[in-house]
């Protein structure tokens, strides 16, 4: 068995398994909290500029990163240390950009994770410590302060003749490294209702959520309270006798049958193909062949005639052959996902060939789904 056939059989088994799992998970029920989020509860992005110190000679070269030296001088002056008239030669310091997401309803004194990324020409942040850095929001206000040891997952080893690098060493994280100093004004209790936003917009799912909420509210409060405004938002009115936080806890645990549009996602760079369960293909005939061109160079040595003034020379000889692999015609129809996957695999082509076939089926108007190219 050749490696190509072994690879094809492996792809056939994987695709068949995916088809079975997708068929079993069709119409799977999900909780509202897993498919939607509360509009009033969203993260806010924070950013800051800071310095990482304590590096073992892997920091910024201050000659190539003048902003690092300026920041170092400013920090030392704020600590009461004069740096006038002296040139810093330190290479164990690096300028970094610090980013974080401020979670909703965060209170003063709680902690959150932050990420740091090198801004200069530092080679590694491993072993460094982030000096106190203020984190600001889009409004320019400081909402948190970060400080602590940087955790770097990447590793770099370098010798005289070889270098080994795994992962990224110029970026790291500080778990719980920031303390929240300012709260975002929030009046959750004063809201007159709730607005859910679907993570994957779909009219059928939005209407289904509204129906499930209304069914529950009719039994619980004696009235319908939900309305699907569009494919993304579902508005829920708070009953007069309900507590908003308790109402949110009750509604987010309700189970809804989700729906999604038929879609085929293709990534031509990696050869990844994702086929949705509702994808259908009208009956078409497909033939796929790959043109292979081989160029063989077999130069020959030419000897001069005896007693002549000629010299030995090399005469080039090129042999070019072309052939087409495959080319068989297969009839493909996809009333369900497993049949479609089996039909594509029956042609015996690689993932890049299946991508080309799917694009051709879409152009022929036989693919009853949206084709997304990445």
Residue 149: predicted pLDDT: 93
Asked if residue 31 has pLDDT above 60, the reply is yes
pLDDT confidence of 14, banded at 50, 70, 90?
very low
Of residues 193 and 166, more confidently modeled: 193
Distances (CA, A) of 292 to 320, 323, 360: 11, 5, 21
Asked whether residue 307 carries a pLDDT value surpassing 60, the answer given is yes
Inter-CA distances, 253 with 33, 109, 142, 182, 225, Å: 7, 30, 36, 31, 16
- How many C-alpha atoms does 21 have within 13 Å on its Cβ side? 8
Q: What percent of the chain has pLDDT over 70?
A: 77
If pLDDT is split at 50, 70 and 90, which confidence band does 30 have? confident
φ, ψ (nearest 5 deg) of residue 133: -130, 130
Q: Which residues of 87-125 are buried (b: 16+ CB within 10 A; e: fewer)?
A: eeeebbbbbbebebebeeebeeeebbebbbebbbebbbb
Chain-centre distance for alpha carbon 109: 31
Q: Model confidence at 23, in pLDDT bands (50, 70, 90)?
A: very low
Q: Which of 29, 18, 36, 56 is nearest to 231 (CA)?
A: 36
How many other CB atoms are found less than 10 A from the CB of residue 162?
7
What pLDDT is recorded for position 13? Answer: 37
pLDDT of 20 reads 37
Residue 128 in this model has a pLDDT that exceeds 70:
yes
Please write the tens of the pLDDT for every residue from 229-255: 998 999 999 888 888 888 888 999 899
pLDDT attached to residue 87: 55
The distance between the two most distant Cα atoms of the chain, rounded to a whole number of Å, is 117
* Alpha carbon separation from 16 to 9, 108, 188 (Å, rounded): 10, 52, 48
Query: What pLDDT, on a 0 to 100 scale, did the predictor assign at position 52?
Result: 93
Average of per-residue pLDDT across 105-126: 90
Q: Going by DSSP bridges, is the β-strand pair 129-136/111-118 parallel, antiparallel, or unpaired?
A: unpaired
The predicted-structure confidence for 49-61, as pLDDT tens digits, reads as follows 999 998 988 888 8
pLDDT at 26: 47
* DSSP state for residue 151 in the 8-state scheme: B
Residue 11 pLDDT level (bands cut at 50, 70, 90): very low
Please determine, for residue 91, whether its predicted confidence score (pLDDT) is greater than 60: yes
Percentage with pLDDT > 90 across the chain: 26
The mean predicted confidence, pLDDT, of the chain is 79
| C-alpha triplet 211, 216, 218: angle, nearest 5° | 95
Which residues, in sequence order, are CB contacts of 240 under 8 Å at separation 6+? Answer: none
pLDDT in tens, 265-294: 888 777 788 887 778 877 777 766 654 556
Pick 182 or 271 by higher pLDDT: 182
Q: Provide φ and ψ at 240, rounded to 5°.
A: -65, -30
pLDDT at 16: 42
- For the question of whether the overall pTM of this predicted structure is more than 0.85, the answer is no
pLDDT digits (tens, 9 = 90+) for 314-373: 777 766 565 555 555 555 555 666 676 676 676 666 777 777 777 887 888 878 888 888
| Structure-block tokens of residue 17 | 């398994």
Q: Is the pLDDT of residue 207 over 60?
A: yes
Question: Is 90 exceeded by the pLDDT of residue 90?
Answer: no
Q: Give, rounded to a whole angstrom, the gap between the first and last alpha carbons of the chain.
A: 34
Place of tokens 């704020």: 78
């Amino acid at each position: 068995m050749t490696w190509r056939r072994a690879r094809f059989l492996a792809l056939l088994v994987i695709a068949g398994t995916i088809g079975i799992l997708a068929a079993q998970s069709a119409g799977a029920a999900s909780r509202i909290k897993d498919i939607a989020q509360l509009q009033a509860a969203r993260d806010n992005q924070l950013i800051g500029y800071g310095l990482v110190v304590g590096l073992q000679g892997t920091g910024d070269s201050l000659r190539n990163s003048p902003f690092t030296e300026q920041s170092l001088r400013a920090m030392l002056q704020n600590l009461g240390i004069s740096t006038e008239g002296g040139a810093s030669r330190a290479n164990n310091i690096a300028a970094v950009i610090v980013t974080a997401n401020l979670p909703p309803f965060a209170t003063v004194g709680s902690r959150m994770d932050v990420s740091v990324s090198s801004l200069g020409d530092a080679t590694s942040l491993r072993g460094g410590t982030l000096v106190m850095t203020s984190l600001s929001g889009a409004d320019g206000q400081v909402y948190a302060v970060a400080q602590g040891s940087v955790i770097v997952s990447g590793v770099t080893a370098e010798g005289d003749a070889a270098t080994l690098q795994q992962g990224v060493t110029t970026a790291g994280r500080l778990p719980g490294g920031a303390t929240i100093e300012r709260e975002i004004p929030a009046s959750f209790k004063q809201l007159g209702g709730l607005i859910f936003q679907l993570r994957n917009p779909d009219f059928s799912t939005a209407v289904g959520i509204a129906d499930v909420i209304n069914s529950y509210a009719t039994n619980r409060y004696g009235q319908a309270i939900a309305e699907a405004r569009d494919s993304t938002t579902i508005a829920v009115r708070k009953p007069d006798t309900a507590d908003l936080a308790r109402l949110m806890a009750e509604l987010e645990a309700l189970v809804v049958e989700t729906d999604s549009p038929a879609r085929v996602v293709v990534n031509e760079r990696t050869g990844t193909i994702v086929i949705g369960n509702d994808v259908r293909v009208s009956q078409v005939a497909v033939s796929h062949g790959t043109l292979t061109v081989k160029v063989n160079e077999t130069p020959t040595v030419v000897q001069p005639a005896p007693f002549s003034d000629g010299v030995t020379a090399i005469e080039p000889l090129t042999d070019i052959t072309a052939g087409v692999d495959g080319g068989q015609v297969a009839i493909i129809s996809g009333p369900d996902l497993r049949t479609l996957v089996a039909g594509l695999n029956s042609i015996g082509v690689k993932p890049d060939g299946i991508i080309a076939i799917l694009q051709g089926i879409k152009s022929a108007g036989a693919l009853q789904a949206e084709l997304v190219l990445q």
